[in-house]
């Protein structure tokens, strides 16, 4: 008799909004994304970061203990002030499976042509940012 399929690791999703303490420039964002992606890949975290007009919206998804740990780091990070948690809960599947941290912002903030960058259109959305709500 075959056993029912059980997800090997539970995945949790957390979505929050924060305000940047200082306006972020191209280089700030490039460095932030590189560091995020390195640590997220190690921790099995995937997700999406939106930055527009001094506001971040981030979706992180991964094993609950890794999400807890990253959340503690995010709370302490003085580059931003957390304004609101929009969602936290178990996720049946990852929305950003292939991205250690996809990034959507204005095209002019991507001078370094980073991979995983999704430009915002005239309505302030990208194909990926629409998945982060």
Ligand X SMILES: Cc1cc2nc3c(=O)[nH]c(=O)nc-3n(C[C@H](O)[C@H](O)[C@H](O)COP(=O)(O)O)c2cc1C
Q: Which residue has the tokens 């990926």?
A: 128
Regarding 79 and contact with ligand X (CB under 6 A), the answer is yes
Per CB under 6 A, which region of 3-11, 31-39, 90-98, 125-133 contacts ligand X?
Answer: 31-39
Do 15 and 132 touch, CB atoms closer than 8 A?
A: yes
Strands 80-91 and 11-20: antiparallel
Regarding 36 and contact with ligand X (CB under 6 A), the answer is yes
CB 74 to ligand X: min, Å? 5
- Counting residues that bind ligand X (by CB under 6 A) gives 16
Do 72 and 14 touch, CB atoms closer than 8 A?
A: no
Binding pattern for the stretch 54-73 against ligand X, x by CB under 6 A and - elsewhere: --x-x-x---------x--x
Ramachandran area for residue 32 (φ above 0: left; ψ -120 to 50: alpha; else beta)? alpha
Task: Please give the residue ranges that form the binding site for ligand X (CB under 6 A).
Answer: 18, 32, 36, 39-40, 49, 56, 58, 60, 70, 73-74, 77, 79-80, 101
């Amino acid at each position: 008799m075959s056993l029912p399929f059980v997800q090997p690791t539970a995945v949790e999703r957390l979505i929050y909004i924060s305000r940047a303490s200082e306006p972020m420039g191209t280089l700030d964002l490039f460095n932030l994304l590189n560091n995020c992606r390195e640590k997220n890949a190690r921790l099995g975290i995937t997700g999406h970061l939106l930055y527009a007009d001094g506001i971040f919206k981030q979706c992180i998804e991964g094993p609950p203990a890794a999400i807890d740990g990253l959340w503690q780091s995010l709370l302490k990070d003085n580059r931003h002030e957390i304004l609101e948690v929009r969602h936290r809960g178990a996720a049946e599947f990852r929305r950003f499976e292939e991205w250690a941290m996809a990034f959507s912002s204005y095209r002019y903030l991507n001078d370094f042509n980073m991979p995983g960058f999704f430009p915002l259109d005239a309505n302030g959305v990208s194909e990926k940012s629409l998945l982060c709500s």
